Amino acid sequence: MKADPAVQRRLLDLAEVDAELSRADHRRRTMPELAEITEAEKAVQTRRDAQVAIQTQLDDLDREVARQEKEIDAVRAREERDRGLMAGGTIGAKQLTDLEHELATLERRQGVLEDDLLELMERREAVEMDGKHAGVELAKAEEKLADAVRRRDENLTDIGTTEARRAADRAKVLAGMPEDLLAVYERRRKQKGIGAALLRARRCGACRIELDRREISRIKETPADEVLECEECGAILVRTAESGL
């Protein structure tokens, strides 16, 4: 294949643009903020789950407290009724004895229930403190996630700006480029990552391998408008005054 040496040199501009576009794409896929966001999202979810678990404990304790208070109220009501009967003076000795025994039992029962209620309230207070701590930890995790997202978005904006600018540069370079030459370039770029490179000081700018004397001699004898490819990596070799020929 033949192409004007000036057109071949434009391939170097195209390769430079494509290299920067590749770096931008690599940066988008590998920016550290992506991993940070993944970990931060896990941390946020873990802390939200912890809050849900704590709230479930609080709801269970609230139901238990309500049940305990209801039972205490029932004991107190029974005790007030018995004391009312005793104060009325209309009951016999046997019933009076029975009421006194029942009151003693009710007092003991009330004492046990109130002790249990106090323990429940103390447990609830401790769980509530855990909930406040979990809320603080969740807020920290959410703040960390928001910071990572903000930095990722800033990077994406910067990358997008770079890509748009370099895409415009690429369009300019491509203007008037021979289709057959461009096809070879694109094929090599897809295969090896670099479509064209400068032959500088007898070294391929793509694979960085120094060409042997036999290959250099062949290149020297090849017309300037002949499109050459590196025997090692297949990239189009662009010859300039820097090639050392």
What would the 3-class secondary structure string for the chain be? Answer: CECCHHHHHHHHHHHHHHHHHHHHHHHHHHCHHHHHHHHHHHHHHHHHHHHHHHHHHHHHHHHHHHHHHHHHHHHHHHHHHHHHHHHHCCCCHHHHHHHHHHHHHHHHHHHHHHHHHHHHHHHHHHHHHHHHHHHHHHHHHHHHHHHHHHHHHHHHHHHHHHHHHHHHHHHHHHCCCCHHHHHHHHHHHHHHCCCEEEEECCEECCCCCECCHHHHHHHHHCCCCECEECCCCCCEEEECHHHCC
Is the pLDDT score of 91 beyond 90?
Answer: no
- Residue 134 pLDDT: 95
- pLDDT tens, 186-203? 999 998 889 999 999 889
Percent of the chain whose predicted confidence (pLDDT) is above 90: 79
- Is residue 199 a contact partner of residue 238, using CB atoms and an 8 Å limit? yes
The pLDDT score that the predictor gives to residue 176 is: 87
pLDDT in tens, 121-158: 999 999 999 999 999 999 999 999 999 999 999 999 99
Average pLDDT, integer, range 114-118: 95
Rounded to two decimals, the pTM is 0.74
Angle between helix 5-30 and helix 93-174 axes, rounded to 10 deg = 170
* Confidence class for position 48, pLDDT limits 50, 70, 90: very high
228 DSSP β-pair partners: 237
